[in-house]
Amino acid sequence: MTRRALAGVLVAALVTTACSTDPEERTAPAQAPRPAPAKKLPGAVVDTVGVASFNVYRHLPRRDAMADALRLTRDDRVDVIGWQETRADYFPDVRRRLEGKGWDTWQLWEPDGPFWLAVSWRRADYELVDGAWTEVHGGAGKQRTDLPYPPRGYVVVTLRHRDSGRLLTVVDTHLNQGIETGDGFTDRVNADDAKEHLRELADVWDEVPGDLVVGTGDFNFDHADDVAARPEGGILDTQDGHATSSYDVLGLGGVEPTRGDRWIDYVWIADRTLRVRARDEGTGQFVEHRSLDGYASDHRPLVAQIRWYDR
């Protein structure tokens, strides 16, 4: 059985109900049982890494945004965070506050303020090796689309695990809004640019350095719809063979969606560093994942536990 076939078996039962065109029918059951954590595979373990993806919602009041950030970084299950929508007036204050709490952050700065993406990590466990921003496409204003957007791209941040010396690389991204309609793409420039974004991202997983390569991001396309229809140029259509999301391996059980009915926040492992079965050569195994409640942002943080194996 191929890895994608295995993933399909794991999520098939949920996708059958989650992909109805009626949003109320697509939500996960309120009392859905949480799957047991994946069993350890053969091999020495370097560490278990908690990787979170969180869109902070840049229009939040400063006090709410700070409370969200402090709550997430106090969570013992979280070691590394890929943030989206960090081009916000409050985020420099968030960075400074987190620095005093033992967290470091990489973020590209421009003359007029911080950019849209950032990656943070626990200073006691990791140190920065390198960080870079790549723009995939420019932005579009109201003259081109009814849902304007800024330039989009991705950041690649490589960290050194202090105890082992091995490298962890985080790819963080944010796709355009207004790209999904049911199981397809809208007919607007937003979708055209998003398809370009996904095509380029597929190559990134194969090219970036790292003993373990993970990813985070707000993809603005519902996982259940994507699995059901697999539209041309969509997430699975482009990322298959390059990276695998926690949804692909662990399914949707126990993971509450963002905004009531949409699984759009993702954590990934690059396929060349993915381990699903005992004979896989990869270093990273998805153990469990969950979305967190009680945040002021319009997104739920998604946190995946990843077991990191020595090769």
pLDDT at 182: 75
Assigned domain for 64 exists: yes
pLDDT at 112: 60
Assigned domain for 34 exists: no
- The structure's pTM equals 0.89
Assigned domain for 257 exists: yes
Q: Report the C-alpha gap between 300 and 154 in whole angstroms.
A: 20
pLDDT at 26: 40
The string of pLDDT tens digits covering residues 73-89 is 999 999 999 999 999 88
Assigned domain for 27 exists: no
CB-based burial, 279-309: b 16+ in 10 Å, e otherwise: ebebbbbbbbbbbbeebebebbbbbbbbbbb
Assigned domain for 23 exists: no
Q: Report the C-alpha gap between 110 and 114 in whole angstroms.
A: 6
Q: Report the C-alpha gap between 253 and 33 in whole angstroms.
A: 6
How many structural domains is the chain composed of?
1
Tokens in use for 95?
């960075």
Assigned domain for 204 exists: yes
pLDDT at 261: 85
Residues of the chain with pLDDT under 70: 1-33, 111-114
For 70, 140, 197, the CA distances from 152, given in Å and listed in that order, are 27, 10, 8
CATH number where 113 lies: 3.60.10.10
Assigned domain for 31 exists: no
Q: Are 74 and 303 in contact (CB under 8 A)?
A: no
Q: Report the C-alpha gap between 265 and 132 in whole angstroms.
A: 22
What are residue 172's DSSP bridge partners?
Answer: 155, 216
pLDDT at 25: 39
The string of pLDDT tens digits covering residues 142-162 is 999 999 999 999 999 999 999
pLDDT at 27: 42
The string of pLDDT tens digits covering residues 115-147 is 899 999 999 999 999 999 999 999 999 999 999
Could you tell me the sign of the dihedral formed by the alpha carbons of 275, 210, 118, 172, in that order?
negative
pLDDT at 311: 81
- The residue range of the domain holding 218 is 3-17+45-309
Query: Strands 167-174, 184-185: parallel, antiparallel or unpaired by DSSP?
Result: unpaired
Assigned domain for 209 exists: yes
For 20, 287, 289, 308, the CA distances from 41, given in Å and listed in that order, are 35, 10, 18, 11
pLDDT at 259: 77
